[in-house]
Amino acid sequence: MLQLYSGTLLLISHDKSFFRRTINEIISVSKQKLVSYTGNYDAYETQRSGRFTFAKPADIKANKIKFPLRILINRFGAKAVKASRRKVE
């Protein structure tokens, strides 16, 4: 009966075979963002693993920027005047 329902349903379960039979889209919460995956549970797993495979270089680049900023923030706190005077190498 759930296959015939065309609306949105919040469903929580650990039964992957149930998901494979009943759903055609998954909306996941990842890093405080909603990510939509089309297809059944198997398609979701494939798309999700591919998404994280391609995201790694971007994460590495972002961390190269974030790390020096964290050092700067930890050193000077929220005082913008002091933070603008020194560079972190």
Nearest to 23 by CA among 45, 3, 4, 46: 3
In this model, does residue 88 exceed pLDDT 70?
no
At 43-83, the pLDDT tens digits run: 988 888 877 665 566 666 777 777 777 777 777 766 656 55
Q: Are 25 and 37 in contact (CB under 8 A)?
A: yes
The domain of 19 spans 2-85
Does the model's pTM come out above 0.85?
Answer: no
Q: Are 26 and 8 in contact (CB under 8 A)?
A: no
Q: Among 3-12, 16-25, 56-65, whose mean pLDDT is lowest?
A: 56-65
Q: Structural domain tally of the chain?
A: 1
